[in-house]
Amino acid sequence: MTQNLNPSSNANAKTNTSISLERRFTWLILASLLPTLVLFIAMGIAFDFKLLGWSTVGLLLAIIYTCLVIALYRLVITPYYSLTSLTEALKMEDYSLRAKSPFSRGIVAKLFNELSSLSQNLQVSKTRYDQQMFLLYGLIEQLESPVLVLNQDDQLQHANPAVSQLFSVPWQTLKQSPAQKLGLKKLNGFWGFDENNPLNVGKKWQIRQSEYKENNNNYQLLMLNNISQELQKNEQEAWQNIIRILNHEVRNSLTPISALSQNLLEMPDLTAEQCQQAIKIIDNRSNNLLAFIDSYSDLAKLPSPNTQQFDLAELLHDIANLVQQVTIKLASPLIIKADKGQLEQVLLNLIKNAKEAQRSKAKINKVVEQASEASKNTLEKDIEIQVFKTEQQVIIKVLDQGCGIANSANLFVPFYTTKETGSGIGLALSRKIIANHQGELTLTNRTDLADSTGAVATLTLPLAFK
């Protein structure tokens, strides 16, 4: 908003805005000469213009006043032309021009000095900015990762040699090319590679982006990080974990089967009862191995969420009535959109794990003095479920007072378990279900208990899940 600093001119603002300073100044000078001209004409009429020197005096006065008008005009108006040239130079980012004031003191001299100081400060800032941009482009040239600079029209403006190696052509030949031609696409403000990449960039890339301004133009800086090695490393570790687990489970089942089969072959004098017992063990271990394979199939064939809107409070209270000893902390109904059946499966699994953790702690307490009372107190404690809502998320926490988490690294490794009868599939399946809901499942030790241990499972779901 622009404020008028001259209150006295408000009344005549409409009539004065179309009149230039030069014209107003000329009119004021002519108006100041009007009384003298009237007096001169009156005296001429009184003396009938008969004096010989009258015309001479009139001519001299006209010359003097004309010179006075020209001098005043130059004195007042000319400095504004110098100021105009200076401001135009500043607008064009030319800070080398300096205008000299025709006065050594006063308001005009101060105005010239302020503009000169402004020009000098802008020149220092521009020099510093140019140095920073020179350093930025120098760093871009030295980086091994491909870096692209896109202008405000999403066209390639600058790049480094790594981009030339990536696209197998000099990047200068791609200058001013649209981002789509480079195989890039922008979705919700974030850059990524188009699946139908015309340049067929075959590696896996992570794009980091930032923005900066140069010469009043906005630019986007895209840095491409090759994560192929990291992905291969993670994939290799995943395969190693799977092979380790398969080796453990299959060996545990096949070793007794092989031993019992060998005994049946080498000991023909076994009684029918002994043979039946051996065959029963073989059948039991075979069924366990089949159940293990089925668990793998369940994890791999998890269906996509069948989302619907429902009241989370109602679901939690139904679960509490089903499993008992569960305290719900949710003040009011909360409508969310998710797969109700899958979410119920996750919550039941987390509550089951929490109850088993408290039972394990109760067993440990039995070996301690006065353990019977402590064991009873541990078993009687309720599993607590807390629900929080933010602007974009729903957070569900399942809290227990069990033994806590000892090995957090393998929590979500499929088929890893520390339980005697556990399958190791529950947490891995739960995490995959929540991930399919665009959410997150984490397990940590509780830090809010002064005289006890426990764990908290935090389940985060988006409110606007699609």
What's the topology of domain 143-226?
A: Beta-Lactamase (3.30.450)
Range with top average pLDDT, 46-55, 203-212, 227-236, 456-465: 456-465
Pairing of strands 335-338, 308-311: antiparallel
* Residue-level length of the chain: 466
Pairing of strands 326-329, 383-389: parallel
Element (H, E) at 461: strand 455-462
User: Cβ distance 446 to 454 under 8 Å?
Assistant: yes
pTM assigned to the model: 0.45
**Average predicted confidence (pLDDT) for the chain:** 75
Q: Which residue has the tokens 């073989």?
A: 282
The pLDDT score that the predictor gives to residue 227 is 76
Dist. CA 330–CA 385, nearest whole Å: 8
Q: Which residue has the tokens 């009372």?
A: 373
Predicted confidence (pLDDT) per residue in 70-118, tens digit: 777 777 777 777 778 778 877 777 777 776 776 777 777 787 778 888 8
Mean pLDDT of 187-200: 69
**Can you tell me whether residue 160 is helix, strand or coil?**
coil
The pLDDT score that the predictor gives to residue 361 is 64
What are the CA-CA distances from residue 169 to residues 59, 130, 145, 163, 166 (Å)?
83, 29, 16, 8, 8
Least confidently predicted of 37-41, 47-51, 229-233, 362-366? 362-366
Extents of the domains making up the chain: 19-125, 143-226, 230-300, 308-462
Task: Spell out the CATH class of 308-462.
Answer: alpha beta
Q: What CATH number was assigned to the domain covering residues 230-300? A: 1.10.287
